[in-house]
Amino acid sequence: MNQKPIEHPSVWRGSELERRSEWLQQLTETEAKEIECLFADAQPSLQENAPVLFTRLKKVQVSLEEGCGATMIRGLDLAVGTLENWKWFFEQAASVIGTPLSQSVSGETIFSVRDAGFADSDSRARGPNTRKKLSFHTDRCDVIGFLCLQQAKSGGENQLVSSPAIFNEILRQRPDLLELLMQPYRYLRHTIDTANDLPYTEQPIFSFFEGNFAANFLRVLIDRADANPTLPNMTDAQKEALDYLESVAADPEMHFTFRQQPGDMLFMNNWVTLHRRTAFEDHAALERRRHILRVWLSMPNSRPLDPMFAGNYGATAAGAIRGGIQAATDR
């Protein structure tokens, strides 16, 4: 394999992310006032009624693809609006950056990340609606966004890692495994993806297409495919490659740990970052429990993808609308 290390602003290690100017941004008084005025208007437009914030979000759109791949905007005053106000605002703000996608067969574009109390055997259970620790992964979109409304009593820290930095580290230490990670792995259809006719797809973890790097990883679906009696098992070498990738991502020198606070709005490019969440303990009172809004975005300035991603994403051309969960009404 004749690969070279990736050189791009999206390559960073651990706490280096904190020093990137595009990472942590503080909302200005002008932007805060714009948002407050939006809630008082019957049919507001961010571009017309919040031009300063609109300009910031357009810059975020560019930096997510061309910069470090992650931005957190801090300082939203949640007291000035209701839950419905903030759901509306988050979707409008996200729509300036990209196109919101369906996250369920019911067509939800804004998904509430909170513990739903489902048993592990319940088909409705998915990582975001549990309290358990999640492994490093990507979601089925170009960019994922979170707006924190309430945090847990304890825990629930976020961890973010640069996938091209992982690529470079594996290239340096175990190029034999990197070669395997650039070959296709089987992904079983997600339990919530009931409108999808494909029982499984095949796609690489790391890929290059037309000179563009892309990483995509959701081990839970790979392991489910491996456990499925109708599909071939992974080889020991393939499993070793996945284990090694996860060990590199888990290295404290590689990832950045932070805790999203109420009023923090976070956006991450799924093609150049992996993310995970630690387990958490919630408040007993329902109204005080952890609640984070999530959006999946298809980006107008996205990179072209290897055609093998079509099984999960549909379109693979640069800037195409792609990803999400097919809504049952689309059939």
pLDDT tens-digit series, residues 253-294:
999 999 999 999 999 999 999 999 999 898 888 888 899 999
User: Mean pLDDT over residues 212-221, rounded?
Assistant: 97
Q: Is 67 exposed, middle or buried (0-12, 13-18, 19+ CB in 10 A)?
A: buried
Higher-scoring residue by pLDDT: 293, 45: 293
Q: What is the mean pLDDT of the chain?
A: 92
How far apart CA 167 and CA 180 sit, in angstroms, is 12
Provide φ and ψ at 31, rounded to 5°: -65, -40
Per-residue burial over 102-137, b if 16 or more Cβ lie within 10 Å, else e, is bbbbebbbbbebbbeeeeeeeeebbbbbbbeeeebb
Q: Residue 44 has what pLDDT? A: 82
Half-sphere exposure of 323 (CA within 13 A, CB side): 29
User: Mean pLDDT over residues 207-223, rounded?
Assistant: 97
Q: Residue 331 has what pLDDT? A: 47
How far apart CA 98 and CA 320 sit, in angstroms, is 11
Q: Residue 91 has what pLDDT? A: 97
Q: Residue 57 has what pLDDT? A: 98
How far apart CA 178 and CA 170 sit, in angstroms, is 6
Q: What is the pLDDT of residues 154-209, one digit of tens each?
A: 999 999 999 999 999 999 999 999 999 999 999 998 877 766 777 899 999 999 99
Q: Is 9 exposed, middle or buried (0-12, 13-18, 19+ CB in 10 A)?
A: middle
For every residue of 87-134, DSSP letters joined together read: HHHHHHHHHHHSEE---STT--SSEEES-----TT-TT--GGGSSS--
User: Mean pLDDT over residues 108-121, rounded?
Assistant: 76
Cβ atoms of 187 and 200 closer than 8 Å? yes
pLDDT band at 128 (very low <50, low <70, confident <90, very high): low
User: Mean pLDDT over residues 302-322, rounded?
Assistant: 96
Strand order in the sheet with 273-277: 255-258, 158-162, 273-277
Both tokens assigned to 57: 């979000």
User: Mean pLDDT over residues 127-150, rounded?
Assistant: 90
User: Mean pLDDT over residues 292-313, rounded?
Assistant: 97
| 108 pLDDT higher than 60 | yes
Tell me the residue length of the chain. Answer: 331
Q: Residue 40 has what pLDDT? A: 86
Q: What is the pLDDT of residues 226-242, one digit of tens each?
A: 999 999 999 999 999 99
Cβ atoms of 217 and 274 closer than 8 Å? yes
How far apart CA 76 and CA 276 sit, in angstroms, is 23
| 115 pLDDT higher than 60 | yes
Higher-scoring residue by pLDDT: 250, 328: 250
233 contacts: CB under 8 Å, gap ≥ 6: 226
Sketch out the chain's domains with CATH numbers.
70-78+98-330 (3.60.130.10)
pLDDT band at 220 (very low <50, low <70, confident <90, very high): very high
For every residue of 29-96, DSSP letters joined together read: HHHHHHHHHHHHSSS--HHHH-HHHHHHHHHHHHHHHHSSSEEEEE---GGGS-HHHHHHHHHHHHHH
For every residue of 222-252, DSSP letters joined together read: HHHHHH-TTSPPPPHHHHHHHHHHHHHHH-T
| 22 pLDDT higher than 80 | yes
Q: CB atoms < 10 A from the CB of 284, how many?
A: 7
User: Mean pLDDT over residues 110-135, rounded?
Assistant: 70
Cβ atoms of 167 and 12 closer than 8 Å? no
Element housing 310 (H / E): helix 310-313
pLDDT band at 326 (very low <50, low <70, confident <90, very high): confident
Higher-scoring residue by pLDDT: 40, 6: 6
Among the listed ranges 2-6, 141-145, 312-316, which one has the minimum average pLDDT value? 2-6
The whole-angstrom distance between residue 72's C-alpha and the CA centroid of its chain comes to 13
Closest CA to 321 of 293, 287, 297, 286: 297
